[in-house]
Structures are given as structure tokens and as C-alpha cells.
Amino acid sequence: MALEPGILAGFLIIFLAVLLGPFKIHVIEENLEVFLFVCGIAAMTISGFVEIPGTETGWRMEIIEEALTSPLHVGEIAGIWIGIFQIVLIVGLIIYKWHEPIHKVIRKLTDILSVKILGFLLIVVLGLSSSIMSAILASIILVEVVNAMPISRKSKIDLTIIACFSIGLGAVLTPLGEPLATIAVSKLSGEPYHADFMFLFNMLGKYIIPGILAYGIVGMFFLGKVDMKDSGIKAEAYNETLKDVIMRAVKVYLFIMALTFLGDGFKPIIFECFIRIPSTVLYWVNMVSAILDNATLCAAEIGPTMSELQIKSILMGLLIAGGMLIPGNIPNIISAGKLGITSKEWARLGVPMGLVTMGIYFAIIFVLGI
């Protein structure tokens, strides 16, 4: 299958718009969810002009239903749907109702611990536990703690971005953490891997756990010059209204719908180009997961015929790159929305940190062969 020049041009325009639009145009930055939703619709429409043997593309009821339900359903408890939208809304309402005692506990912690120690614990504990509590809940806890800490806005942004890298890595260790992990385990459940609940932990744990600890140390370095006793720095007061809480959940819902459409819409590019690329190159090409849904990329790229080295390289590339920009991962979306972090502010630290991390893991996996 070879894509026509007009189709390729259309996908390239959408990709560049998603990548550069939020940095260049203020209106897009202020309405990022709507912009990504429109780009997703455009990608789905263009995708409909491409035929992939054995794979459906373009608009169909299946993808519309998936886009509508994916924010609402990542699992079930006693037959009740549990989704990102419900978690963000319910936890937001709980904090709205009892924010005073919650923030009082957080501020008491900041009095007991130094900011460096608290930052280290926040990054490491949430990173390690995100595979059990889910990346969504970990990111909600993150922003509430960060918001209540008496540190500067820049320090809050730095701490949040580093913690989101940690959460994004840690969440893959079990299928409970994030959709990418669920898809990977499902696709490798048969011969020859027989992937089970602990499969990804056993395969990637030796890379991810030291990585989370390293992020904790990096976080301490970034917070090293912060003085908790500086009278000019105060914790931000909780000032959200009920409307703010509800609208944040709605924006997250729209964001996930947009990423679903974008991921499925770019299927022709993924199937035409990505799956033919050698592992060492694909590792770097997967940096597109900074703006595309990494679960969709995982579903397209991973299969049981691949070697363990190929699987490792695909997953690690997707996971690390997901922290570079806001659309790359659910924790980024939730955290940026709550703390008002702009795309430029995120990229200023997220992109160089992601590139350095990818370089280190590339050396470990491909050069040293560990």
C-alpha cells in the first residue's frame, strides 16, 4: 500500500498543526481540547480515503462509539463503569467539598519535610504506585499536593512535569495503570510470551524502577534552591468553583475523544510507515506519541512475532516520549489543566528531559544490551 501524495500532505498538515499550533497561536492554546478535536475529525476524514487490507479506516460507528465511551470506561467495579471522566469529576468534587482539611494535611507535611524530600517522595511514590492506583488517580493526587505546596509557580511546573514522566513510566508495570499496558498484555497473551499480569513488570521493571528513582533525584535538584520558609512564597488558596470542577472533567472527556480520533485517523501512516521501520529507528520515531495516542501506536506496532528487544524498544520509546508535551499522556492533560500550565511552559522542560531520557535508555537497551 502506498499513500497518495495528497493524502500524505493532508496528514502532514494535521501533524504540524497539532505539533506547532499550541505554541504559535494563543487562541489554540486557550482552546486546546476543541482544536485537537477538530484535528481528529480532519484526520478521520482523510483516513477514510485510504484502504488498508484487513483494517477498517475512516468514519464508522465503531470508532464513534469508542470515542464516546473511552473516557467513561477503563474498567468496571461490580458492573459499574469506571473511567477517566468519572474519576476526575468525583475526586474533583471530593476535593471541592473537603479541600480545607486536605490542604491542611498537605501543608503540615511541607512543614515537617524539606521541599526536596517532599518532592522526591511525591515523584517516586506516585511513579511506583501508579501501576496499581492508575495514572489518572496518581496525577490527580499530584496536582493537589503540588498546588498546596508553598513554592513558586516555576517550581510547581518543574515538579509536575518531572512527576508526570515518573507516573507515565510507572503506570505501564501492570495492566491496571494505563491503556497502553492493557493493550500490550492483551496482544502478547498468546504464544510465545503468554503475557500475564506481571509480564510488563518482569520485562521492563529493571529499566523503569531505576528511572523513577532517577526522576526523584532530578526533582530534588530542580527544587534545591527553593526555601520553604521564604515569606514571599505562599501556598495557593483553593479558589475553584463547582463549575470549574465540572468543566475540567468535561475538557478531559473532550481531550480523550480528540486523541481517540487522532490515533485512529493516523492509522494509514502507522501501518504504511511505522511497522516497517527497524527497532533502533522506530524507538526515536515513536516520539510522535508526544502528540498522538500511545495506546493506538502500541496496538499497531506490537505483535507476538516480535523479539523481546523489539517490544522493549517500542514500549520504552512510547512511554518516555509521552511526557514531552501535554497531549502525550493523560497525567499531563490532567495536571496542565488543573495548574494552568501552557504548552510552551511544558515543552520548555518536557522536550529536553524527554530527549535526554530517551538517549540514556537507547544506550542502555541498544548499545549496552542490558
**Gap between the Cα atoms of 146 and 358, Å rounded:** 26
Do residues 140 and 90 make contact, with C-beta atoms less than 8 angstroms apart? Answer: no
Question: Could you tell me what percent of the chain has a pLDDT over 90?
Answer: 43
Where is 80: in which H helix or E strand?
Answer: strand 80-82
Q: Which pLDDT score is estimated for 183?
A: 84
**Residue 303 has which C-alpha cell?**
505483535
Listed residue (139, 138, 160) closest to 149, CA to CA: 160
What DSSP designation does 59 have? Answer: S
Residue 241 has pLDDT above 50, yes or no: yes
Q: How far apart are CA 260 and CA 37, in angstroms?
A: 9
Query: What average pLDDT does the structure give for the chain?
Result: 88
> What mean pLDDT do residues 269-292 have?
84
Provide the strand spans (E) within the chain: 75-77, 80-82
Averaged pLDDT, 178-185: 86
* Under 8 Å between Cβ of 248 and 92: yes
pTM above 0.75, yes or no: yes
Name the residue type at position 80. I
d(CA 313, CA 7): 29
For residue 242, the model assigns a pLDDT of 92
pLDDT at 229 over 80: no
Q: How far is CA 231 from CA 119, 223, 296, in A?
A: 20, 17, 48
pLDDT given for residue 120 in this prediction: 95
Are residues 127 and 170 in contact, defined by beta-carbon separation less than 8 angstroms? yes
User: Could you tell me the three cell numbers for 164?
Assistant: 508526570
284: which 3 cell numbers? 526515536
CA atoms within 13 A on the CB side of 93: 7
Which has the closest alpha carbon to 268: 6, 5, 7? 7
Over residues 215-219, mean pLDDT: 96
Does residue 285 register a pLDDT over 80? yes
Residue 341 has pLDDT above 90, yes or no: yes
Q: Is the pLDDT of residue 288 over 50?
A: yes
pLDDT over 50 (residue 232): no
Q: How far apart are the C-alpha atoms of 355 and 211, rounded to whole Å?
A: 14
Indicate the domain borders of the chain.
5-367
Lookup result for grid cell 482552546: 31
pLDDT of res. 235: 61
* Alpha-carbon gap, residue 305 to 327, rounded angstroms: 30
- How far apart are the two ends of the chain, measured CA to CA in Å? 36
The whole-number pLDDT of residue 39 equals 94
Note the pLDDT tens digit of each residue in 111-169.
Answer: 888 888 999 999 999 999 999 888 888 998 999 899 888 888 999 999 999 999 999 99
Note whether 14 and 39 are within 8 A (CB): yes
Q: Is the pLDDT of residue 179 over 90?
A: no
Please check whether residue 270 is in contact with residue 303, taking contact to mean a CB–CB distance below 8 angstroms. Answer: no
Task: Give residue-wise pLDDT tens across range 243-257.
Answer: 988 998 898 899 889
Which grid coordinates are listed for 281?
Answer: 529507528
What pLDDT was estimated at residue 231? 44
Contact yes or no for 353/165 (Cβ under 8 A)? yes
For 293-322, how does the pLDDT look when each residue is reduced to its tens digit (9 = 90+)? 787 788 778 878 888 888 999 999 999 999
Q: Quote the CA–CA distance of 323 and 325 in Å, as a whole number.
A: 6
Q: What is the pLDDT of residue 13?
A: 95
Under the banding of pLDDT at 50, 70 and 90, the label for residue 226 is low
